[in-house]
């Protein structure tokens, strides 16, 4: 799509959020700010909706594990300063989660398993905080997941996968970056340049953990679903590897995209 198309996409998503809030008598939109591109774009979509219609609150919640050493938290603070400087209407809160996470006993595990468990726990703690804020303000939790993450099941069940609406849930990661250009004065360059990471543990990056780039994932999803991809096809050996990996992840995480089985 061209930038004009993304401007229309922006307007369409803003209108969609407005329609949902009005239909369901929603008074606040609660967004978890991670310091990454997805949450910044979703927050701006919500803020623009409020700027246009002025009928709900936007509440952005920053939930670093440890404020003292979080680069992602610094990026979120810069986003907050940008938003406030340009006069957007949003509330920002910080809730450090270290004491909550450390209250759990995870010493029985070590290594990579420990990282996975701790990362999932952090995601679930953050989801609990967001829903507590939403419950106190007659609001909903606005999810920040994109199409690539959703198709791979690359989210925590009961954590960042637990949301009420998904404004960018049908956009590939590269499309989220393009949509971000609509908000160039609001979204800091540090967020746009940041390596995608769920911040599950120190040094974690999405693409290292996935073993694929987001563009490779988007190409594979388009191929599997029969859509023409605007992305370049990887060389044959790599293409086969990526397709196999994506299909494996889709199968393994199918339970995340379905309601729980019920005995009848």
Which pLDDT belongs to residue 204? 83
The answer for residues whose C-beta is within 8 angstroms of residue 223's C-beta and 6 or more apart is 229, 243
pLDDT band for 136, please (50, 70, 90 cuts). Answer: very high
pTM over 0.85: yes
* Contact in structure between 134 and 146 (CB atoms under 8 Å): no
Q: CA-CA distances (angstroms) from residue 119 to 103, 112, 224, 252?
A: 14, 10, 29, 19
Residue 106 has pLDDT above 70, yes or no: no
Which pLDDT belongs to residue 67? 74
Q: What is the pLDDT of residues 29-63, one digit of tens each?
A: 999 999 999 999 999 999 999 988 888 999 999 99
Q: What is the pLDDT of residues 137-175, one digit of tens each?
A: 999 999 999 999 999 999 999 999 999 999 999 999 999
pLDDT band for 112, please (50, 70, 90 cuts). Answer: low
Residue 252 has pLDDT above 90, yes or no: yes
Which pLDDT belongs to residue 23? 96
Residue 213 has pLDDT above 90, yes or no: yes
Query: CATH assignment of 3-197, given 3.40.50.2000, 3.60.60.10, 3.90.1640.10, 3.40.50.620?
Result: 3.40.50.620
Candidates 61, 62, 64, 50; CA nearest to 22 is 50
Show the tokens assigned to 113: 């398993």
Q: What is the pLDDT of residues 172-207, one digit of tens each?
A: 999 999 999 988 778 999 999 999 987 777 778 999
Which pLDDT belongs to residue 247? 98
Give the integer Cα–Cα distance in Å for 74 and 90: 18
């Amino acid at each position: 799509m061209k930038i004009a198309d993304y401007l229309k996409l922006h307007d369409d998503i803003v209108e969609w959020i407005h329609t949902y809030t009005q239909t369901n008598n929603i008074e606040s939109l609660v967004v978890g700010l991670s310091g990454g591109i997805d949450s910044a774009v979703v927050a701006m979509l919500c803020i623009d909706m409020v700027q246009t219609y002025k009928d709900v609150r936007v509440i952005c919640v920053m939930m670093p594990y440890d404020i003292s050493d979080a680069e992602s938290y610094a990026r979120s603070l810069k986003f907050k300063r940008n938003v406030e400087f340009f006069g957007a209407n949003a509330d920002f809160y910080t809730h450090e989660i270290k004491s909550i996470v450390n209250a759990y006993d995870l010493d029985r595990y070590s290594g990579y398993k420990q990282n996975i468990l701790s990362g999932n726990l952090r995601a679930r703690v953050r989801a609990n905080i967001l829903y507590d804020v939403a419950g106190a303000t007659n609001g909903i939790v606005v999810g920040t997941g994109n199409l690539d993450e959703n198709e791979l099941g690359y989210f925590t069940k009961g954590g960042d996968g637990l949301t009420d609406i998904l404004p960018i849930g049908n956009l590939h990661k590269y499309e989220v970056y393009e949509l971000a250009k609509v908000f160039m004065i609001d979204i800091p360059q540090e967020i746009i340049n940041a390596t995608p990471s769920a911040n599950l543990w120190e040094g974690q990056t999405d693409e290292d953990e996935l073993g694929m780039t987001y563009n490779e994932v988007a190409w594979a999803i388009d191929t599997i679903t029969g859509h023409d991809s605007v992305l370049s096809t990887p060389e044959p050996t790599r293409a086969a590897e990526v397709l196999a990996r994506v299909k494996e992840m889709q199968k393994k995480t199918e339970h995340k995209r379905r309601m729980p089985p019920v005995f009848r």
